[in-house]
Amino acid sequence: MLKMFKHLGIKEVISIILSIGLIVLQVWLDLKLPEYMKEIMTLIQTPGSATKDILVVGGNMLLLALASLSAAVVTGFFMARVAAAFSRRVRGKMFDKITSFSNEEINNFETASLITRTTNDVSQIQMFITMGVQLLIKAPIMAVWSIIKIYNVGVEWSTATFVTLILLTILIAIIMIFVIPKIRKVQSLTDDVTKSVRENLKGVRVIRAYNAEGFQEDKFDVKNKNLTNVVLFTNKAMSFMMPIMNFLMSVLMVAIYYIGAILLKNQIGDPLLQVDTFANMLIFSQYAMMVIMAYIMLVMIFFLLPRSLVSAKRINEVLYTKPKIVDGNIDLEDTKLKGTIEFKNVSFKYPEAEEYVLKDINLEINKGETVAFIGSTGSGKSTLINLIPRFYDASSGEVLINGIDVRDYKLFDLNEKIGYVAQKAVLFKGKVSDNIAFGTNKERINDETDIWEALEIAQAKDFVSELEDKLDSDIAQSGTNLSGGQKQRLSIARAVAKKPEIFIFDDSFSALDFKTDRALRTALKEKTKGTTNLVVA
């Protein structure tokens, strides 16, 4: 958890320091109120006291209460801002970190878990900063300060209070022993629910086609019930604890008044001593309630803190994971060859796999050549070409581009050389033009002419021209408002617009009819001369 505070900015640290000062001020003001109450009781019981004096003391109490309220509001405002700024910064860092992960790291964490960590886990930390930090600071100060105030007021009352505190401590300890392990499971169970929802949303058409809605609902229901049962258990424990704490508070109040009544009975005949005892009883009851309230705050912290600690650990696992695919140290200007690819004794196996997918691959591809990789499903075609843009690194051997090992390139420079079209066409929410001029492509594209040229080569010009807003037409997330063939052609147009040295087409023509496929390949050959083309068929 302490590692998380490294992500606080200077403004947030200043806000926290100011909040601590305000919390101390608030506690001091709250502890001052019973003293004024004692003064009022003394004035009421003292013959000859003026109403004006009581009103003055009452006015002071009102001012203290308003000042305490103001301090609480300002503290809440500061901590809410700190929590929001902290969450925004951590989410940004997590997003940057995740985008730097290779396929191996993403598979290790799983996509659903990364989504939960970036959203739900960060929200848990935000909630703890907003509420828990205030309680964590305020509760100990209030408890210790209140105990100091009542320490010498009365032995009998102090004994009753300490007995109540011991009972509360035992109660809290027993419940926490059972609750904390459950709280720690909540985030992993949330991962399971997110994973199930994501799986069903991605496979909704297959599920409907096979009438498997009931089967999938049962699978989701199991995971949903597991999460629900854990949350219910913790909430029941909280709901069970609060009435008991309220009961003990009431018992303590009765004990204080009962002890006070006995003391007052024994002091009959000494009015001044009775007045002092009665005033002490009232002030003690107020301070005793503050001690109990501090314990209630600690209980709330015990419910917030374990889940926040688990969330912090899960966030740190992402932030402190070192990506295996990192920048090399060679500058782009050092390369002399253009568009050449060479595999030297390349072997590869997936992480934790026993068998090699590729073994001792040796291959040279010269500039301007088109090479097709043909083989049965699972033979390693896609795996081989995925070593070029470093989605994975070769287990042994070297993959060279322009005579230089791809591991020596800076990732930005390596990616600039490659126009990659994946097996599954990936489009992003936005306009058609945004998807074609994607990423660093915008620096190469001077006007709409370049975009239309890329669309023409990819055989996508006709259908884009028929769209209502043409290049400004909206594309839904993942391109769900387009057909498979349209998505593939736009993906190819995006790669063409990049004007790279090397094209990688990973089974990127599967959704195209024969006529479109042939026209596209011809246009690529004629209008992108000099590029090296790798095609998985």
What digits encode the pLDDT tens for the residues 86-105? 888 888 888 888 888 887 88
pLDDT of residue 335: 57
Q: How many CB atoms lie within 10 A of CB 15?
A: 20
C-beta separation of 191 from 110 below 8 A: yes
**In the chain, pLDDT over 70 holds for what percent of residues?**
93
Q: What span, in angstroms and rounded, lies between the C-alpha atoms of 432 and 465?
A: 11
Q: What span, in angstroms and rounded, lies between the C-alpha atoms of 68 and 332?
A: 63
Tokens describing residue 523: 């246009």
Q: What is the mean pLDDT of the chain?
A: 82
C-beta separation of 68 from 26 below 8 A: yes
Residue 212 has pLDDT above 70, yes or no: yes
Mean pLDDT of the region 327-342? 72
Residue 166 has pLDDT above 80, yes or no: yes
Greatest CA span in the chain, whole angstroms?
116
pLDDT of residue 445: 66
**In the chain, pLDDT over 90 holds for what percent of residues?**
1
pLDDT of residue 425: 82
What digits encode the pLDDT tens for the residues 343-390? 899 898 888 778 888 888 898 888 888 888 887 777 788 888 888 888
Residue 533 has pLDDT above 80, yes or no: no
Contacts of 158 (CB under 8 A, 6+ apart): 150, 151
pLDDT of residue 444: 63
Mean pLDDT of the region 167-171? 84
Residue 46 has pLDDT above 80, yes or no: no
Residue 537 has pLDDT above 60, yes or no: no
pLDDT of residue 337: 64
Backbone angles phi, psi at 345, to 5 degrees: 50, 45
Mean pLDDT of the region 162-188? 81
What structural domains does the chain harbor? 2-319 (1.20.1560.10), 332-536 (3.40.50.300)
Residue 332 has pLDDT above 70, yes or no: no
Q: What span, in angstroms and rounded, lies between the C-alpha atoms of 255 and 238?
A: 25
How does residue 336 score in pLDDT terms, banded at 50, 70 and 90? low
C-beta separation of 307 from 87 below 8 A: no
pLDDT of residue 478: 77
Higher pLDDT, 204 or 408: 408
Does the pTM surpass 0.85? The reply is no
Residue 263 has pLDDT above 70, yes or no: yes
Higher pLDDT, 441 or 403: 403
